[in-house]
Chains A and B, each alone.
Chain A
Amino acid sequence: MPPELAESTAPSHGARVAALWGRLHGFGPVAGLVLLCIAGTLLNGEFATVDNALNVLTRTAFIGIIAVGMCFVIISGGIDLSVGSMAALIAGCMILLMNKLAQTIGSPVLVIALGMVLSLGLGAVFGLIHGLLISKGRIEPFIVTLGTLGIFRAYLTYFADGGAITLDNALADAYSPVYYGSLLGVPFPVWVFAVVALAGGFILNRTAYGRYVQAIGSNEQVARYAAVAVDKVKVLTYMLLGLCVGIATLLYVPRLGSASPTTGLLWELEAIAAVIVGGTALKGGAGSVTGTVVGAILLSVISNILNLTSIISVYLNAAVQGFVIIIVAFLQRGRR
């Protein structure tokens, strides 16, 4: 972090003020979230209940997990627009496979385990394809993932025949605890979200790979001169995101037990918004997993508050979301 560096080497007055200012900006998303929560509680007392908090955190889990992976991709200077379609296609394939396996394999637990393995495997493979096309194929990430965005969703629509792919009832019952069950009063998806976020924070800040990701994002050419295996790191980054999408999908499927062409619609924008609201620069180079997590929660808190009140016209819901995003981004804007 440049501001901290400035503080330790040149403890002049100006630098100290700048450092303080920089740190304050880092709290932008947190401040936004706290303000929103206060507003929510004032508007409806039910907002501050444990049940509501857990509802919000559980539904944030999908976007949040994907956003952690997206955070790496954006820090490395890339972007992935396909995550929503990818999640939908993985969900569809997973349900089709599980329905098929259930006819031959008796144990539903084994069937579900195989479904989960497929979900993670597909995520990693899709990420690998993205990474190779971007690094070895030298195509802009925006274009590669814009292409796969269409491809993934079209294949899901094709498999679903335009309708919905639905998990068999017996399997759905066996699988549903993965979303609805809880450990120590906290739902499983929230646990998984926490683990993914902690792991993401560790990898980004405490490993050589994490430093390479940041280095590539801030200056790819210099990173190459410094003998960083740029292509390999990039491929790994997209695979990591694919894996995150796989994790999110295996938590998503038991919620409704179905995938349809509307599954995961616009998740890519929500995930990217969470990362950027959380203080990561869209041009790459620097960012934080903590900010991303706060950003993801912030986005779902907004719609939660809007659902819990009826003070504004329902037609303006999207506008409120837009205003809050811009205000929070303003609070955490960095110095240029």
Chain B
Amino acid sequence: MTRFTRRLALAAATAAAVLAATPALAQKKEVLGVSMPAATHSFMAGAVYWANEAKKDLEKANPNIQVIVKTAANASEQANQLQDLVTVNKITSLVVFPFESAALTKPVAEVKAKGVYVTVVDRGLTDPSIQDAYVAGDNTAFGKVPAEYIAKALGGKGEIVALRGIPTTIDNERMDAFNSVMKNYPGIKLLDAKHGNWNRDDAFKVMQDFLTRFKHIDAVWAADDDMAVGVLKAIQQANRKDIKLVFGGAGAKGAIKTLMDGSDPLIQANVSYSPKFMYEAIKMTGEARLKGQKLPANNIVPSVLITKQNAKDFYFPNSPF
């Protein structure tokens, strides 16, 4: 019995020592939490990949920062995760890619109320006063750049069709930007625009029906590289020669490869909307916090035209996107 008591006392002492030592060991100046949607489609897979790259680079360069990346399957799981990051991981700064704008506004506000520095990525919160900084891709340019390219390529005259993504504010922003440019080119007629849901199969069906319906089409704004895959297959199947141009978007690695190799005459350009903004957001936040600086309130990563000449700057073979 005495031996047991002694052992117990020893164990308790050890535990106390470990407990006392742990904070010293884990005493990192900065704990940066990252919360984002899970990789259920290729764009988000790319964003997760870039988040982990940022974690690797930041932790390697700065020993006193710890980055925790969490992914969530839906908005309520993300809200729980945010709570865990604050109470369990004791984060001092947060980079959040909200699942939905409205549903995550309150949970992020609670994190902010605990004194955590908050950077919001891509989908803005409904109350922007919560965030310390905002990092996003440029959805207006995502619609403007292809519109200008298509208008120039067609010499300001022709008939086009467009595909749209899942009905969201992002999709509306892109479509409105596209239309605002096309207003300056009265010779170009947008025959119709239908939702292909950023999905290859849906885009294939929509394009098949566009081809049945319109006997002459000069160019297609597929508005996404996945949708462009479906569009190209439908054109190939119908054996239509009137279409001169298919413009995707976002710069997925497969599409950039096609552009670099020039393997499809219909694919002549692309517009960047890279999930790499996740990398930028984490790195900027981490570095600014370590130096005790603040980020600019709005950081829009520009969407630029990609052509065969600059395609290799946008080609990341290791990323899933």
| B242 at interface by CB-CB < 8 Å | no
Q: Is the CB of B200 within 8 A of A258?
A: yes
Nearest A-chain residue to B198, judged by Cβ: A262
Closest to B195 in A: A314
Residue among A59, A161, A303, A310 facing the most chain B CB atoms (10 A cut-off): A161
In the bound complex, CA of A265 to CA of B41 (Å): 12
Residues in A with CB closer than 8 Å to B208 are 55, 59
Task: Name the B residues within 8 Å of A307 (CB-CB).
Answer: 194, 205-206, 209-210, 213
A8 in the interface (beta carbon within 8 A): no
Shortest CB distance A63–B (Å): 11
Give the docked Cα–Cα distance between A163 and B230 (Å): 16
Q: Is A207 an interface residue (CB 8 A)?
A: no
- Bound Cα distance from A174 to B179, whole angstroms: 40
B303 to chain A minimum Cβ distance, whole angstroms, is 21
Q: Does B127 contact A (CB under 8 A)?
A: no
The answer to whether A261 and B212 touch across the interface, beta carbons within 8 angstroms, is: no
Whether, in the assembled complex, B97 has its beta carbon less than 8 Å from a beta carbon of chain A, the answer is no
- Docked CA distance A304–B205 (Å): 8
Q: With A and B bound together, what is the CA distance between A273 and B206 in angstroms?
A: 21
Take A166-B254, A260-B42 as given contacts and tell me if A304 and B209 are in contact as well, using a CB distance cutoff of 8 Å: yes
The B91-130 residues at the A interface (CB cut-off 8 A) are none
Say which one of A43-51, A69-77, A108-116, A209-217 lies at the interface with B. A43-51
Q: Give the number of residues in B that approach A within 8 Å (Cβ atoms).
A: 34
Q: Are A255 and B212 in contact (CB under 8 A)?
A: no
Closest to B263 in A: A169
- Return A295 CB to nearest CB of chain B, in Å: 18
User: Nearest residue in B to A161 (C-beta to C-beta)?
Assistant: B320
Residues of A within 8 A of B75 (CB): none
Cβ–Cβ < 8 Å partners of B201 in chain A: 255-256, 262-263
B window 173-203: CB within 8 A of A = 192-195, 199-201
Give the contacts of A15-70 with B (CB-CB under 8 A): 44, 46, 49, 51-52, 55, 59
List A contacts of B164 (CB < 8 A): 314
Pairwise interchain contact B212-A256, C-beta atoms closer than 8 A: no
A162 contacts B45, C-beta separation under 8 Å: yes
| Complex-state Cα separation, A162 to B49, whole angstroms | 10
Residue A219 CB within 8 A of the other chain: no
- Indicate the member of B40, B49, B201 with the most A CB atoms within 10 Å: B201
Specify the chain B residue showing the minimal Cβ separation from A47: B212
Closest to A303 in B: B205
Pick from B39, B194, B212, B237: contact of A157, CB under 8 Å = B39
- Do residues A161 and B204 form an inter-chain contact, with CB atoms below 8 A? no
The 3 closest A-B pairs by CB, nearest first: A162-B45, A162-B39, A307-B209
Query: Given A162-B48, A163-B42, A310-B192, 14 more contacts at CB 8 Å?
Result: A55-B208, A160-B320, A161-B45, A162-B40, A164-B226, A166-B254, A255-B201, A256-B233, A258-B229, A260-B42, A303-B205, A314-B164, A314-B194, A314-B195
